[in-house]
Structure 1
Amino acid sequence: MAVMKVVEIMANSSKSWEDAVKNAVKTAAKTIKNIKSVYVKDQTAHVEGENITDYRVIVKITFQVEA
């Protein structure tokens, strides 16, 4: 039986929400092994004038705990 753990991560990107999710996974993978899935919990954007300047996500990353 596998033991799974979930952590919540906030990340951002100046390009897109998809890129922000990729940044979250890439950064988490530096310290978390065995990542199995990512769930996008929330998406927001920072706006200046008429332009979106920053895409932000809150994701839940699930990984398998090593025994």
Structure 2
Amino acid sequence: MSVLKVIEVLGNSTESFEDAVNNVVKEASKTVKNIKSVYIKDMQVTVNNNEIAEYRINTKVCFGIMDD
């Protein structure tokens, strides 16, 4: 039987939503091991001078709890 844990992580990027997801995985993996999936809960952008300035995402990161 496997046991998984879910944490909420916010991410952002000035490039794209895909880059924001990559940033979430990259940063979360520094302290969380065994990441299984990332669920994108919410997406939004900030606008400056009628152009997208920043892509923001609210994610749920799912990872396995490891036995020692």
TM-score normalized by the length of structure 1: 0.97
CA deviation string 1:5-48 (max 9, x = no partner): 00000010000011001100110000000000011000000101
Q: How many residues align?
A: 67
Tell me the CA shift for residue 49 of structure 1: 1.4
Tell me the CA shift for residue 63 of structure 1: 0.2
After TM superposition, the runs of 4+ consecutive aligned structure 1 residues lying more than 2 A away are none
SS in 2 for 1:20: helix
Structure 2 residues not aligned, in runs of 5+: none
Q: Which amino acid aligns with 2:4?
A: M
Distance (whole Å) between structure 2 residues aligned to residue 43 and residue 19 of structure 1: 13
Identity of aligned residues (%): 49
Query: For residue 32 of structure 1, what is the aligned residue in structure 2?
Result: 32
Distance (whole Å) between structure 1 residues aligned to residue 21 and residue 42 of structure 2: 11
Query: For residue 43 of structure 1, what is the aligned residue in structure 2?
Result: 43
SS in 2 for 1:42: strand
Distance (whole Å) between structure 2 residues aligned to residue 10 and residue 38 of structure 1: 11
Distance (whole Å) between structure 2 residues aligned to residue 23 and residue 42 of structure 1: 15
